Chain A
Amino acid sequence: MITKIVRKGLVLILSGLLLPVSGVLVAQEPVTSDWHQFRGSNRNGSVAVDYDFSTHPVTEPVILWKKEIGSGFSELVVSDGMVYTMTGEMIDSISGREFLVCYALLTGEEIWRVEIDDIFIDVDDWGDGPRSTPAVDDHNIFCFSASGKLVSVSKANGKKRWSTDFVSLYGSTRPRWGYSTSPLLIDNMVIMEVGGVESMGFAAFSKDDGDIIWAAETITAAYNSPISVNIDGETQIIFANASKLFSFSPSGNLLWTFDMPVRSPMASPLFIEPDMLFVSAANDAGSFIIKINDNDPELVMTSNQMRNDWSSSSYKDGYIYGFNVATLLCMDAESGERKWLKRGFGKGSLMMAGNMLFVLSDQGAITMVEATPDEYKEVASFDVLEGRSWTAPSYSNGKLFVRNLTHMVCIDLFPDNTAM
């Protein structure tokens, strides 16, 4: 307990103001909100930073720590000086367990772990273990196993609070490659794609006890995660499933649906403020944008330039950055025109901090690329992992977090706490 407080204090100190040096303006270490859920606080793979990476390049990132980790595709989420993720570990050749694990942000040391479910074994050998990313609020963590157990765990002591099984309780069928939906937290609810029978397709569960608050539609569980958006002052919960987009109010009322020109997107829908949604799938149709006006969606753009597989895209100033299968691409959101492309990352992933893309190649290299439509502009590149790396990076307070099936790494982009 005391150790945790000291560690938390160190984080606060390091996050504090920096002194100007030699009369040259030194910006504060970029202060951002924690990355507390799948794709960050806004579920869009982006974080605003008080820093211009292009004019003040990061020159010597330091690997703060690198740790072995169990198998899985869960992102590393950050909250209050702790890093949370889900991992899987084999006990023998045919069985194992999935865990929610808490690590100290500054050292990567494991603080606690709690067993969530039996491990999911991938028959196609893509990688065993959990796929979903936990969501963290002020007091609790909500995580979802690859075999369909939604579990709440206390942040204070790592104890399970409740658990609900989608397969046995709601008749859901586990997708071939395991459940991948990441929990979305809204008010006192945990929003999930369930895929259950008898109108248990989408549901809101109580954060307090896991009881169902509302449920709607009958669909088959797939690999997408819900997002929440604010359109005209109204919160809408968006699901992309099979060939349809669904929008619900927080109280579970169906606001609108839209028949998508793409099938079964695995990449997360991307909200473009104030009222547009970008969706992409790896089948031939590619991607599209709808504009929602008074709960009436209208198709405004289609493009075959961007076909996201499981790696989601990010948006900045009229342009979308993402992977066209295995090619990094910048696309004009209005016209669907390709601005530039760059091969060489394999089936990589990315996140955006300020005006910088942090691209993780599928072989574990991080490349910093300016988020500009003018041209592909690489700023820096460094190897951090080895082997198949399919989980998108996360970012918090000047630190980049990446993982794959065997290791996780924390990269301090500002080791001297200076920004020049």
Chain B
Amino acid sequence: MRLTSLTLLVLLFLQFTSSLATACVSDDSDRPDTIIEKHIAAHGGVEKLSSVHSMKLTGDFTSFSVVHDFVTIKTSDGWFYSTYNLGKHRVTEGYDGDVFWTIDPWQGFDFPRKINQVEKHVIMQKADLITPFFMWKEKNYEVRFLGREDIDGMEMNVLELTRPGMPAETWYINSNTSLAYKYHSQWVDFTYPMQAETYFDDYREVDGLVMPFYTEQTFSTRHRITQIKEVLINSNLDERIFRMPSCKYMDKLAMLDGTWDVDVQVMTRQGSWHEIGTVHSTFCFMDRNRLQGNISYDMAFPASNDFIFSYNKRTDQYQLIQFSELFSVTELFQGSFTNNKLILDNLPEEGAVNSHSETGNQRAYTRYIISLDTMEAITIERKQSTDRGENWRDAEKLTLTRH
């Protein structure tokens, strides 16, 4: 049978479309989704990972060639708590979904502080529950396939992972096992960024989850080993552990935190108390070591006073910074607790910043006595002295009742 031109054309067309179809239905093993799907399956599968809400890890952490214990707690929301040793120093760090913090005596901080962006990235990496690739799209991560590489005799799928606002990480996923072999990321040393290489080993199954029990990391000259000994899944947690602790000294002032009805009384020249009225006020911790509030009332003139309480570790004294809007004056008071009363004044000390108000030819000093007897009622008394603190006379009384 002679092939007509039309038949030939049809045959050629069919051949072309067949080739095209074959080209379209190609190997999709280069797609991040495919690699990650296998990776999640290797870790236990979507259902299993979804069932994990928290994880508590305990074991040995090696730094500077010395082994100490560590505890790490993480949640599916990304909350994090960990405590471990760097040398002889016990470091604690955490994240409660709002504030990233650390207590790091290795850096000279034995009180809680907030952390910088570089340190946040490190916490985020540490807080990964099993793998960062779980629900990576929901977390708005970006993932790119960078190719395949032979690493230490094993074929790796190389993925680049980028968390929002953070530097990219390079992950090496074993093509055979689909488990992570190592990754490169930005780490931190004394608040400064460093490039880190982290290896994973000793994969074990825990309640159907597969996770590395051994992690070895190098960054700059540092070398760290984490050897997990025990894993507790979905154990009962006290959420307070994730919160940045307050300065322990400020705990004594914690009952001032809240909203108050404030009865204002001032001492008249005749020596009797004059009722100004009741105003509202709120005190709150602006960070865990700074308690701030404002009390405003009309006393012939509108008087607005800002109060900022803090603790000075160097002098072992509590401090009050008071700003008077009426007089545009900032005054500093210092003092300590006697029983449940915090007594602060601006009596002159050697080298201290001194403030004063002139009363005739005599300099007047101010004292605040804050009585923290109950959670529901607090008294703030203001007294004045014109004889450098030998005698104090009443000037003002604020009675705070919890609103």
A residues with CB within 8 A of B: 124-126, 282-284, 307, 309, 325-327, 341, 343, 346-347, 362-363, 387-390
The complex places the Cα of A68 from the Cα of B12 at a distance, in Å, of: 88
CB nearest to A348 among chain B residues: B65
CB nearest to B66 among chain A residues: A388
The complex places the Cα of A388 from the Cα of B65 at a distance, in Å, of: 5
Cβ-defined contact, B64 with A327, below 8 A: no
Whether, in the assembled complex, B221 has its beta carbon less than 8 Å from a beta carbon of chain A, the answer is yes
Question: Which residues of A are found within 8 Å of B334, using beta-carbon distances?
Answer: none
B residues with CB within 8 A of A: 62, 64-66, 87-88, 152, 195, 199, 216, 218, 220-223, 225
Question: Which residues of B are found within 8 Å of A389, using beta-carbon distances?
Answer: 65
Cβ-defined contact, B221 with A282, below 8 A: yes
Cβ-defined contact, A326 with B88, below 8 A: no
The complex places the Cα of A388 from the Cα of B68 at a distance, in Å, of: 12
Cβ-defined contact, B223 with A126, below 8 A: no
Cβ-defined contact, B221 with A346, below 8 A: no
CB nearest to B218 among chain A residues: A325
How far, in Å, is A213 (CB) from chain B's closest CB?
Answer: 36
How far, in Å, is A233 (CB) from chain B's closest CB?
Answer: 38
The complex places the Cα of A346 from the Cα of B222 at a distance, in Å, of: 10
Cβ-defined contact, A363 with B65, below 8 A: yes
With contacts A327-B218, A363-B65, A388-B66 taken as known, whether A343 is within 8 angstroms of B87 at the C-beta atoms is no
Question: Which residues of B are found within 8 Å of A125, using beta-carbon distances?
Answer: 87-88
Question: Which residues of A are found within 8 Å of B216, using beta-carbon distances?
Answer: 326, 343
CB nearest to A344 among chain B residues: B216
Q: Select which of B62, B64, B221 is within 8 A of A126 by beta carbon.
A: B64
Q: Select which of A283, A325, A343, A388 is within 8 A of B64 by beta carbon.
A: A388
CB nearest to B195 among chain A residues: A284
Question: Which residues of A are found within 8 Å of B220, using beta-carbon distances?
Answer: 282-283
Cβ-defined contact, A346 with B87, below 8 A: no
Q: What would 5 A/B residue contacts be, using CB atoms closer than 8 Å? A: A284-B195, A307-B221, A325-B218, A343-B216, A389-B65
The complex places the Cα of A309 from the Cα of B65 at a distance, in Å, of: 13
8 closest pairs, A vs B, by CB?
A326-B223, A362-B65, A282-B221, A388-B65, A125-B88, A125-B87, A309-B221, A325-B218
Cβ-defined contact, B199 with A343, below 8 A: yes
The complex places the Cα of A125 from the Cα of B86 at a distance, in Å, of: 10
The complex places the Cα of A77 from the Cα of B66 at a distance, in Å, of: 26
How far, in Å, is A344 (CB) from chain B's closest CB?
Answer: 8
How far, in Å, is A92 (CB) from chain B's closest CB?
Answer: 19
With contacts A124-B87, A125-B87, A126-B87 taken as known, whether A326 is within 8 angstroms of B218 at the C-beta atoms is yes
The complex places the Cα of A387 from the Cα of B216 at a distance, in Å, of: 18
Cβ-defined contact, A346 with B62, below 8 A: yes
The complex places the Cα of A390 from the Cα of B62 at a distance, in Å, of: 14
Cβ-defined contact, B199 with A346, below 8 A: no
How far, in Å, is A364 (CB) from chain B's closest CB?
Answer: 10
How far, in Å, is A388 (CB) from chain B's closest CB?
Answer: 4
Question: Besides A325-B218, A343-B216, A388-B64, 17 other CB < 8 A contacts?
Answer: A124-B87, A125-B87, A125-B88, A126-B87, A282-B220, A283-B220, A325-B221, A325-B222, A325-B223, A326-B216, A326-B223, A341-B152, A346-B65, A346-B223, A347-B223, A362-B65, A389-B65
Taking each of A283, A326, A387, which has the highest tally of chain B beta carbons within 10 Å of its own beta carbon?
A326
How far, in Å, is A126 (CB) from chain B's closest CB?
Answer: 7
Question: Which residues of B are found within 8 Å of A326, using beta-carbon distances?
Answer: 216, 218, 223
The complex places the Cα of A347 from the Cα of B221 at a distance, in Å, of: 9
The complex places the Cα of A347 from the Cα of B216 at a distance, in Å, of: 12
Cβ-defined contact, A346 with B88, below 8 A: no
Question: Which residues of A are found within 8 Å of B218, using beta-carbon distances?
Answer: 325-327
Question: Which residues of B are found within 8 Å of A283, using beta-carbon distances?
Answer: 220-221
Question: Which residues of A are found within 8 Å of B221, using beta-carbon distances?
Answer: 282-283, 307, 309, 325
The complex places the Cα of A25 from the Cα of B223 at a distance, in Å, of: 46
Cβ-defined contact, B65 with A390, below 8 A: yes
Question: Which residues of A are found within 8 Å of B199, using beta-carbon distances?
Answer: 343
How far, in Å, is B200 (CB) from chain A's closest CB?
Answer: 12
The complex places the Cα of A326 from the Cα of B65 at a distance, in Å, of: 10
Question: Which residues of B are found within 8 Å of A124, using beta-carbon distances?
Answer: 87
How far, in Å, is A259 (CB) from chain B's closest CB?
Answer: 22
CB nearest to B62 among chain A residues: A346
CB nearest to A388 among chain B residues: B65
The complex places the Cα of A389 from the Cα of B62 at a distance, in Å, of: 13
Question: Which residues of A are found within 8 Å of B225, using beta-carbon distances?
Answer: 346
The complex places the Cα of A347 from the Cα of B199 at a distance, in Å, of: 16
The complex places the Cα of A296 from the Cα of B209 at a distance, in Å, of: 61
CB nearest to A324 among chain B residues: B218
Taking each of B64, B87, B199, which has the highest tally of chain A beta carbons within 10 Å of its own beta carbon?
B64
How far, in Å, is B221 (CB) from chain A's closest CB?
Answer: 4
The complex places the Cα of A282 from the Cα of B88 at a distance, in Å, of: 23
The complex places the Cα of A309 from the Cα of B221 at a distance, in Å, of: 7
Question: Which residues of B are found within 8 Å of A282, using beta-carbon distances?
Answer: 220-221
The complex places the Cα of A332 from the Cα of B372 at a distance, in Å, of: 72
Question: Which residues of A are found within 8 Å of B64, using beta-carbon distances?
Answer: 126, 388
The complex places the Cα of A282 from the Cα of B222 at a distance, in Å, of: 10
CB nearest to A341 among chain B residues: B152
The complex places the Cα of A388 from the Cα of B222 at a distance, in Å, of: 15
How far, in Å, is B87 (CB) from chain A's closest CB?
Answer: 5
CB nearest to B194 among chain A residues: A284
The complex places the Cα of A125 from the Cα of B221 at a distance, in Å, of: 17
The complex places the Cα of A283 from the Cα of B219 at a distance, in Å, of: 10
